[in-house]
Amino acid sequence: MPTLELACLVAILAVAWYWLDGLKARDVAVSAARKACESEGLQFLDDTVSLTNLRPVRNDEGALVLRRVYTFEFSDTGDNRRPGSVVLVRYQVFMLNIGLRPPSNDRTLH
């Protein structure tokens, strides 16, 4: 097999792996965001996440893996959109942010 054909085959396989790996990671992020919203009584909007950052990092074993940051939107009242984010290292949720919620009672601190 000529070198050019081999290089093209390797490139196609690398793109296919990256695409499938991204789909699996996206599914993990959607599931994590949905579960977090459900547990907090929030509405997970659009049922989707958006990849905003991708970079290689080293995991606890020292292997090079991808760190992905996904953003999503949720609503606490049904009339607004608030931002949230999910950080994955490989397929593990590293951090999930749905922001700070204000206290629900009418007490003041003064």
Give mean pLDDT, residues 15-22. Answer: 94
Three-state secondary-structure class, residue 39: helix
3-class DSSP state of 46: coil
pLDDT for 87 equals 97
Q: Assess whether pLDDT exceeds 60 at residue 48.
A: yes
Q: What is the pTM of this model?
A: 0.82
DSSP β-ladder status, 92-97 and 43-44: unpaired
Q: Are 30 and 52 in contact (CB under 8 A)?
A: no
Question: What are the pLDDT digits (tens) for 79-110?
Answer: 899 999 999 999 999 999 997 555 555 555 55
